[in-house]
Structure 1
Amino acid sequence: MRKIVECVPNFSVGRDPDTIDAIAGAIKGVDGCRLLDVDPGYSTNRTVYTFVGDPESVIEGALAGARVARKMIDMRGHKGEHPRFGAMDVCPFIPVVGVTMDECVEISRRFAQKAADELAVPFYLYEQAAPAVYRCKLSDIRQGEYEGLAGKLEDPRWKPDFGPDTFVPEWGATATGARMFLIAYNVNLLATSNQAHRIALNLRETGRGEGSPGKLQNVQGMGWFVDEYDMAQVTVNLTDYKITPLHVVYEEVKKEAELLGLPVAGSEIVGLVPLESLLSAADYYIEKEGLFIYRENQKLRLAIERLGLNSIVPFRPEERIIEYITAEKPEEPLASMTTRAFIEEVASRSSAPGGGSVSAVCAAMGVGLGAMVAKLTYGVRKFENVQGHIQKVLPTLDSVTQQLIAMIDADTSAFNEFMDGLRMPQNTKEERRLRKEKMQNGLKTAIDVPLTTMRLGDLAWGPFEVIARYGNPASRSDTQVGAASLKSGIWGAYQNVLINMVDIEDGEYRQKTLEEAEKINQRAADKCDKVLSLLENRG
């Protein structure tokens, strides 16, 4: 599995396009780094950069940006709404794919060491990388901001983790470390900065201090006025969006604003956001408003509209959701072919694609027909009395169809793994052992893939019975063909399980797998008969 780390350095510059562009160019120029977002703020005089890469690349990308900041940013004249104490104010590393938090801690330490040595500036470690509890929170490290840093550096308790312990006026200091995904989120208010800050104090976890906590856990916040928007904002950092989600913050701000007679004018996300956080918001509004929405893109549209994320600039999911940006296009050469090209490829003088891929196609098309009939029933006025039944099965039919499409190429890939083992050398005892091990693993993969096709197809029989009972009667033949195709797809996948099982030497695996496959295959035959019978009885 590839390793992806996210890095979100915040630089104390938001009003100088040349410096902003120079930092962006330096990061983009590092091989292995992909710059995802540059978000400058004039009032905050701060720019948030978001980029991803493998562990080595993100270190070099962060270092490249820091080099430019060292040359082009001078903190002695810096002013802005956002708390800050350094030219590169903060530089967190976040695990995204195939990377642990411990690895990100090590990445932050290596970056801090390299940057401090090269640039001769102080670095503090925070969050998961912090060496002591009292300097774990960024707010504690940055307390007093740039103006109080010279005095802070004289305190032995605040000696930097890397770099000089003397004040570097043009730079200040930098905090770097490892943390979970943080969402920077602003709710817009037609209000004053004092009113916005009053709401923030009521909501943020620390509240007003002195034993007076706020309503929301894992929320840092304050209020300010943004001149370029001509609006105030409750600006928050969600340090754990699973504990306090986006929609909870938004709804709580609305409640507080209503008490003060203030209008809320949408919200904005600064930088990137995890897909789960927006889907969670969508699920909240779906339940609250009694809606039926199951497709991911429609859920996102709902969340964007309800949270008012288009209020300042258009929110484009493909540019702002971390999973969408970092996703690699699936390798599906067979599933991406035209129908003619796929059939001709099957008919060619080659053993792959073969029966396994064709079985996946049959199952996918069968379930797809079931989804089609459900969609031709849902929302039609004369079928209003069965809408509840259709709503329960439509998401499953749609989802299983998509999952079965992926199995078309998975089957061919599994066969290729076995063939790679077959081609391995067998001149020595060790080579023969490795070859046998590779081939046995390849056979298990070649079994697990069609077995997965069977399992997925098996999920559709319950929904098919519902479609047979309540589906649009004008699509009766489509339901019949769908059920028969699904049965054929499962039967074909079963035959692939059997033929690849012949040379399996693991007796326990063999028995367990065959028992499961036989049950699914028999159930397919029984369920298909039942679906066809239901259709016949409807007349």
Structure 2
Amino acid sequence: MKSIVECVPNFSEGRNTKTIEAIADAIRQTKGCRLLDVDPGKSTNRTVYTFVGSPEAVIEGALNSAGVARQKIDMRTHQGEHHRMGAMDVCPFIPVANVTMEECVKISKEFGRRAANELGIPIYLYEESATRKYRKNLPQIREGQYEGIKDRIITKEWKPDFGPAEFIPGWGATVTGARFFLIAYNVNLLSTPNQAHRIALNLREAGRSPDEPGSLAEVKGMGWYVDEYNLAQVTVNLNNYQVTPPHMLFEEVQKEAKKLNVAVTGSEIVGVIPLEAILMAADYYINKENLFVLDEDQKVRLAIERLGLNSVAPFNPKEKIIEYIIAEEKAEPLAGLTVREFIEEVASRSSAPGGGSASAAIAAMGAGLGSMVAKLTLGVRKFEDLDAKMRRIVPPLNHAANALIPMIDADTDAFNDYVAALRLPGNTKEEKELKVEKLQQGLKKAIDIPLTTMKLADAAWDAMIEIAKYGNIASKSDVEVGAKAMETGIWGAYKNVMINMADITDENFKNTTIKLAEEIKIRAENQCEKVLKILENREK
């Protein structure tokens, strides 16, 4: 997977569509950047942009957007409900994939240095990039807002980290840094702004004062009224959704609103949200309501419904959940084939796909048959007493079936990597050493993939035995075939592990892997036999 960084610059303009679009175009036209979301607010007079790209690309995208704002936004005439101190008010960088927080700190500093030099603007560092403790948090730096910068920026304590220590009337100042994924989240209320703010004060971490802290950690917020929606909102930043996720904030707002006899009418995500946060909400409501929801798309739908995320604007998961937005098209040339095409591909005059891919497909079918029988038993009136058991049995079988499908292509990819290493030159000493290293890496990958196939299938045996005991006896042969297919898939994957082991020079890796593979193979033989005996002895 490529290195992906998210950048979420906030600009102090939410009403001039030409300016908003010009900034968006600057990001779109930056090579390597992908603009995910543009969220303007008229009342706040502020627009939040969300884009992703490589570490190098996001710096360029942020600089290009700031360059447009330098030309088109004049802070001397700006008014809006949101706190602000600059034309580009804040520009955070967030690690998404294959990037560390430390790397994002370096990215933010490089952006700050270049923005100061190229645009002549003052830049402050915050959050993980902060250089001074007393100005780590955004509210600390933004105290007094744009109007207060003039007197603060010339003091020693508030000298910018980059750029001129002087007031730039048309710009103000910008804050940049690296931070954890922040979720901008609003809960809708049919109330006055005062009531919304009262609720926000009760919940936000800072509360009303140091002596009256709020009840939720890692939450910053306030209450306001949004004219275009004709309702009030508790508007918050969830600084760490793993500490306080959206559903927890939503539930607490409902409790506070009930005390005030105020109606809650859904909520909205400003910008984008990680999939994990949505699934956390789904799991919360599944447990709370004792629901049985298995598939990811259904969990996403449940979270959307329970949080009322469609209440003020459509919530399209493909446009709002960051993993769905940045996901490339599934690279499954084999698993994506029809059954006929896959068999024909296996039967063709080519060494790949071979036994490893076939083993993964066979094991997936085995687990899939077990999952099918469990689902056909679940919810049937005459098997109503088994519902609790089926709810436990379905997930591991369903998970194994789905997790084994990608292994079909992974096995062939691993073989291709090894073949590529064989083609490397080996004329010089350095070339020979590199080739040996790459060959060993290729062999280990060619072993690890079928070993993973074995592990995934192995994890489904307990559930397969349970379905043999309690599943609908009318599907007896399906469970028998499923068990035999899982055993065969594991045996085939084992053979692929062993055939690639001969040339491995790492003795510790070899001994550990062989021991584990043999244990899984033997367990598969024993568990399959157990399933078949259970079914043979069942009458109904």
Q: Which deviations, in whole Å up to 9, do the C-alpha atoms of 1:351-380 show, x marking residues without a partner?
A: 111111111111111111111111111111
Question: Could you tell me how far apart the structure 2 residues matched to 1:409 and 1:523 are?
Answer: 26
Secondary structure at the counterpart of residue 157 of structure 2: helix
Q: CA deviation at 1:504?
A: 2.3
Secondary structure at the counterpart of residue 157 of structure 1: coil
Match of 1:189 in 2: 189
Q: Which deviations, in whole Å up to 9, do the C-alpha atoms of 1:35-59 show, x marking residues without a partner?
A: 0000000100100000000111101
Question: Could you tell me how far apart the structure 2 residues matched to 1:120 and 1:147 are?
Answer: 19
The reply on whether 1:472 has 2:481 as its aligned counterpart is no
One-letter code aligned to 2:166: T
Pair 432,71 (structure 1): closer, same or farther in 2 beyond 3 Å: closer
Structure 1 runs (4+) deviating above 4 angstroms are none
Match of 1:351 in 2: 351
One-letter code aligned to 2:125: L
Question: Could you tell me how far apart the structure 1 residues matched to 2:428 and 2:75 are?
Answer: 67
Question: Could you tell me how far apart the structure 2 residues matched to 1:323 and 1:159 are?
Answer: 38
Question: Could you tell me how far apart the structure 1 residues matched to 2:357 and 2:327 are?
Answer: 24
Match of 1:432 in 2: 432
Q: Which deviations, in whole Å up to 9, do the C-alpha atoms of 1:395-432 show, x marking residues without a partner?
A: 11111111111111111111112212222233344433
One-letter code aligned to 1:455: K
Q: CA deviation at 1:503?
A: 2.3
Match of 1:245 in 2: 245
Question: Could you tell me how far apart the structure 1 residues matched to 2:107 and 2:268 are?
Answer: 30
Q: CA deviation at 1:328?
A: 2.3
Secondary structure at the counterpart of residue 501 of structure 1: coil
One-letter code aligned to 1:306: R
Question: Could you tell me how far apart the structure 1 residues matched to 2:461 and 2:398 are?
Answer: 13
Q: CA deviation at 1:118?
A: 1.7
Question: Could you tell me how far apart the structure 1 residues matched to 2:79 and 2:425 are?
Answer: 68
Pair 12,430 (structure 1): closer, same or farther in 2 beyond 3 Å: closer
Q: CA deviation at 1:439?
A: 2.0
Secondary structure at the counterpart of residue 353 of structure 2: coil
Q: Which deviations, in whole Å up to 9, do the C-alpha atoms of 1:19-78 show, x marking residues without a partner?
A: 111110111000000000000001001000000001111011011111111111111111
The reply on whether 1:530 has 2:530 as its aligned counterpart is yes
Q: Structure 2-normalised TM-score?
A: 0.98
The correspondence of residues 235-274 of structure 1 with structure 2, limited to 5 A, is: 235-274=235-274
Pair 507,123 (structure 1): closer, same or farther in 2 beyond 3 Å: closer
Secondary structure at the counterpart of residue 331 of structure 1: coil
Match of 2:511 in 1: 511
The reply on whether 1:326 has 2:317 as its aligned counterpart is no
Q: How many residues align?
A: 539
Tell me how large the CA RMSD over aligned residues is. 1.3
One-letter code aligned to 1:118: E
Q: CA deviation at 1:210?
A: 4.2
One-letter code aligned to 2:105: V
Q: Which deviations, in whole Å up to 9, do the C-alpha atoms of 1:206-254 show, x marking residues without a partner?
A: 1111422111111111111101111011111111111111111111111
Question: Could you tell me how far apart the structure 1 residues matched to 2:508 and 2:141 are?
Answer: 57
Question: Could you tell me how far apart the structure 1 residues matched to 2:164 and 2:445 are?
Answer: 55
The correspondence of residues 106-505 of structure 1 with structure 2, limited to 5 A, is: 106-505=106-505
Question: Could you tell me how far apart the structure 1 residues matched to 2:290 and 2:414 are?
Answer: 43
Question: Could you tell me how far apart the structure 2 residues matched to 1:506 and 1:103 are?
Answer: 33
One-letter code aligned to 1:328: E
Q: Which deviations, in whole Å up to 9, do the C-alpha atoms of 1:102-152 show, x marking residues without a partner?
A: 111111111111112222121111111111011111101111111122122
Question: Could you tell me how far apart the structure 2 residues matched to 1:219 and 1:157 are?
Answer: 27
One-letter code aligned to 2:460: A
One-letter code aligned to 2:445: T
Q: Structure 1-normalised TM-score?
A: 0.98
One-letter code aligned to 1:387: D
Q: CA deviation at 1:473?
A: 1.8
Question: Could you tell me how far apart the structure 1 residues matched to 2:318 and 2:117 are?
Answer: 38
Question: Could you tell me how far apart the structure 1 residues matched to 2:31 and 2:429 are?
Answer: 43
Question: Could you tell me how far apart the structure 2 residues matched to 1:457 and 1:60 are?
Answer: 46
The reply on whether 1:91 has 2:91 as its aligned counterpart is yes
The correspondence of residues 16-35 of structure 1 with structure 2, limited to 5 A, is: 16-35=16-35
Secondary structure at the counterpart of residue 293 of structure 1: coil
Question: Could you tell me how far apart the structure 2 residues matched to 1:321 and 1:184 are?
Answer: 13
Question: Could you tell me how far apart the structure 2 residues matched to 1:287 and 1:8 are?
Answer: 33
Secondary structure at the counterpart of residue 337 of structure 1: coil
Q: CA deviation at 1:519?
A: 1.6
Pair 507,105 (structure 1): closer, same or farther in 2 beyond 3 Å: closer
One-letter code aligned to 2:446: A
Gaps of 5+ in 2: none
Gaps of 5+ in 1: none
